Amino acid sequence: MPAVLLLPTGKALTVRTAADAFLDSLANPNTVRNYGIAVGKTADRVGEGRPLASVADDEIGEALELLWGSSAVNTWNARRGAVLSWTSWCTERGYDGPAVPAWAKRLPPPDSDTPVRSKMAIDRLIARREVHLREKTLWRMLYETCARSEEILDVNIEDLDLAGRRCPVKSKGAQPKVRRRGAVRADYVLETVFWDAGAARLLPRLLTGRTRGPVFVTHRRPGPGKMLSARDVCPDTGLARLSYGQARALLDQHTALAGPGTGWDLHEYRHSGLTHLGEQGASELMLMAKSRHKKAENVRRYFKPSPEAIAEVTSLLAPGDARR
């Protein structure tokens, strides 16, 4: 007869106790090993000695983003799925605890189509009165720069060239560098992104009264237990840098029509901006320069000439006298 594990209830149940109990309940050794990576690292991130009931949903989402937000889609989905199984297991047994937030959603496979939002839909969303100036500015910058969300969120005020409508961003390099013993390290390089009149009008309003620190900050000061680097805190207001998870949750809040987690994704601004440029006839080389992709095949999905452009090029095939 298998041993019965009696667990404390309520706030006496710690994160580590809940994690260990969940992993002990799994029969398949391979599942234990794979789930152990996700659950163990997430528990460490949120604080394994804390009462499980004190952990908020968003803390689980933030931990997932920090640990695997830049990983491959399949890795993100696997780690998220393991943590979701853990939190669901706790809920089913009546333990007070967090859930995986709706904004930390499962990502579509790499070969699926990312939605392209129309320019009109993007303009209408940003123009809505209930949308805060911070979100308006972030979304406009993401669309006009076609930059990755993490790159824009990492920008500080000191980096901005407001007159030139540009700034450097820390981007992943084209070639990973190999450390000793064969370990691979992602290399980062500084690259320049450019924005247009929309973001240029919003940025000065957003930065009123601030000259240093993160461009995009939270509306509340971080709690006493949250450790942040000096670069991630505004020295004038004490507000922390807006995280990717928080930014994604805010976008979902304003765009979800079928419940939490069904709204737009931040990556759709980059995808839509590049697609619109391709539709307007931007060359493949210009799309590569704008997106900073290193391989031509990665930008070909955006190379979608408009019907007018196709009609114009088709006219070149007409008989010589037809074009006179």
Asked if residue 283 is part of any domain, the answer here is: no
The label of the residue with tokens 């992104």 reads 193
Q: Based on the domain organization, do 218 and 129 belong to the same domain?
A: yes
Q: Catalytic annotation on 302? A: yes
Q: What angle do CA 292, 295, 296 make, to 5 degrees?
A: 100
Asked if residue 99 is part of any domain, the answer here is: no
Asked if residue 97 is part of any domain, the answer here is: no
Contact at 8 Å (CB) between 104 and 245? yes
Q: Based on the domain organization, do 178 and 237 belong to the same domain?
A: yes
The torsion region of residue 182 among left (phi > 0), alpha (psi -120 to 50) and beta comes to: left
Asked if residue 86 is part of any domain, the answer here is: yes
Q: Based on the domain organization, do 208 and 253 belong to the same domain?
A: yes
Q: Based on the domain organization, do 156 and 88 belong to the same domain?
A: no
The residue out of 246, 263, 280 marking a domain boundary is: 263
Residue 322 has a pLDDT of: 57
Q: Based on the domain organization, do 81 and 130 belong to the same domain?
A: no
Per annotation, catalytic residue among 41, 172, 267, 301: 267
Q: What is the pLDDT of residues 254-285, one digit of tens each?
A: 999 888 888 999 999 999 999 999 888 888 89
Asked if residue 322 is part of any domain, the answer here is: no
Q: Based on the domain organization, do 258 and 184 belong to the same domain?
A: yes
Per annotation, catalytic residue among 33, 124, 132, 177: 177
Q: What is the pLDDT of residues 160-188, one digit of tens each?
A: 999 999 999 988 654 444 333 333 344 57
Q: Catalytic annotation on 293? A: yes
Q: Which of 42-56, 78-92, 294-308 has the lowest mean pLDDT?
A: 294-308
Q: What is the pLDDT of residues 207-265, one digit of tens each?
A: 999 999 999 999 888 776 667 788 999 998 999 999 888 898 899 999 998 888 889 99
As a whole-number percent, the residues of the chain with pLDDT over 70 amount to 85
Per annotation, catalytic residue among 93, 210, 293, 304: 293
Asked if residue 119 is part of any domain, the answer here is: no
Contact at 8 Å (CB) between 88 and 98? no
Per annotation, catalytic residue among 95, 143, 244, 302: 302
Asked if residue 244 is part of any domain, the answer here is: yes
Q: Catalytic annotation on 95? A: no
- Say how many domains are in the chain: 2
Q: Based on the domain organization, do 136 and 259 belong to the same domain?
A: yes
Contact at 8 Å (CB) between 138 and 152? yes
Is it the case that residue 96 has pLDDT exceeding 70?
Answer: yes
User: Region 34-42: what's the mean pLDDT?
Assistant: 92
| Rounded CA separation 207/205 (Å) | 6
Residue 227's domain comprises: 125-141+148-263
Residue 8 has a pLDDT of: 52
Is it the case that residue 158 has pLDDT exceeding 90?
Answer: yes
Per annotation, catalytic residue among 79, 105, 140, 148: 148
Instruction: Give residue 74's pLDDT band: very low, low, confident or very high (50, 70, 90).
Output: confident
Per annotation, catalytic residue among 270, 276, 290, 292: 270
As a whole-number percent, the residues of the chain with pLDDT over 90 amount to 51
Residue 293 has a pLDDT of: 85
Asked if residue 170 is part of any domain, the answer here is: yes
User: Region 78-100: what's the mean pLDDT?
Assistant: 92
Instruction: Give residue 12's pLDDT band: very low, low, confident or very high (50, 70, 90).
Output: low
Q: Based on the domain organization, do 259 and 130 belong to the same domain?
A: yes
Residue 2 has a pLDDT of: 45
Q: Catalytic annotation on 270? A: yes
